[in-house]
Structure 1
Amino acid sequence: MLLSPDVPPGKLILLNGASSAGKSTLCRAIQAQIDEPFLQFSLDFLMFGTEVLPRRRDPSGPFTWAVMRPRLFEGYHRCLPAFLEAGNNLVVDYIIETPEGWRRLVELIRPFDVFLVGVHCPLDELERREGERGDRCPGDARRDLLTVHTFTRYDFEVDSRRPPEDNAEAIIAAWKARKTPGALSRS
């Protein structure tokens, strides 16, 4: 079944923060409270706890993470506009790792209604959460914290030490009150 041409594009709430900052939990809290359907779509869905990535890893050649990773990220970036063009609202948790990666993502999502949220958390809390998770490499959160908030401005920012339900409520209120152009058009 093809979509009617009058289906408007979806809206994107993009949460950026270090690993273990609580972005995925915050996405679920936003979904639970917001008065429109939003799909949670995370790169983590493709990388962790799934059978998407090949288990085989070789020291060189096509099965190295160095070869697969850029392709995975590019594919993920490209599918966001496809979901939005089909009329899906998305709430996405992301880690902006490099200026180049951010510029590439911005090229793809700039035509859409994007609300960019910075999710902040102090290092000691990030490291505590990282240790409790057990599914991340020690030091990822520290590495991310050094750069993740340096490449862009935000429409709204939260401290993830606050309860996720409170942050979700604040994000939704700010999103509803947003003015265009947002931070993305100033990036």
Structure 2
Amino acid sequence: MAIINGHRIIGTENMEKGKIIFLNGTSSSGKTTLSRRLLEKLPEQYHYLSVDTFMQMEPEWYLEQAFNHTIDYLSGRWINTIVDYVILDTPIGKQLFSECLDLLHDHPVLFVRVDCPLEELERRERARSDRSPGQARFQYEHIHGHATYDLTINTHAMTLDACVDAILAILARPEDWQAFRTLKSRWISGEEIG
């Protein structure tokens, strides 16, 4: 049983979870711009959840754990979510990603790699006042080590609309969203991820 808008709904235990469009890329790779355009074009309602916004509340790593649990909570309540994240191949990043896999491997997650060349990342970083110099380079050198995604897009080589269209196309084929399950299986078998 669930309560939705104040009404008790019986028989919701097996309802489908909210879909998660999980965008992973460095800062300045275009995830926020992409998310905004997706919110305009998606046929269903989605909510936007950014790790940057979450971390502004209190810049401690444990808030990233709370962020992972927030994604799980929203999806578990049938709320579709676009997640804007930076999963790094650092010890803490691997720990947080492991927790993320534990929480979300049985959710409908479309895992999207958001790429951009380093030179363009650094140009974008210089143009923004809310970025620390060198952040893009550090993240560029410490991201995507697990190398398993459902979709890869390049925000420099592709137009914004082409990126959105690629996501919308695979969004229509949830049977193709296997990255989180695959990564979880690799993790369980003891394979190093990242």
Task: Please report the TM-score for the alignment, with normalisation by the length of structure 2.
Answer: 0.82
Question: Is the CA contact 2:106–2:181 (under 8 Å) kept in the aligned structure 1?
Answer: no
Deviation of 1:174 after TM superposition, in Å, equals 1.6
For 1:100, which of 91, 95, 100 is the aligned residue?
95
Q: Please name the residue that 1:154 is paired with.
A: 149
Q: Please name the residue that 2:134 is paired with.
A: 139
Deviation of 1:150 after TM superposition, in Å, equals 0.8
Is 1:14 the counterpart of 2:22? The answer is yes
Deviation of 1:181 after TM superposition, in Å, equals 5.6
Q: Please name the residue that 1:2 is paired with.
A: 3
For these two proteins, the number of residue pairs brought into alignment is 170
Structure 1 stretches of 5 or more lacking a match?
A: 54-64
Structure 2 stretches of 5 or more lacking a match?
A: 184-194
Task: Please report the TM-score for the alignment, with normalisation by the length of structure 1.
Answer: 0.85
Is 1:117 the counterpart of 2:112? The answer is yes
Is 1:32 the counterpart of 2:27? The answer is no
Q: Which amino acid aligns with 1:124?
A: E
Q: Please name the residue that 1:80 is paired with.
A: 71
Structure with bigger RCO (C-alpha 8 Å, 6+ apart): 1
For the aligned residue pairs, the C-alpha RMSD in angstroms reads: 1.7
Measured in 1, the distance between the counterparts of 2:129 and 2:41 equals 29
Q: Please name the residue that 1:183 is paired with.
A: 179
Deviation of 1:94 after TM superposition, in Å, equals 0.6
Determine what percentage of the aligned residue pairs are the same residue: 29
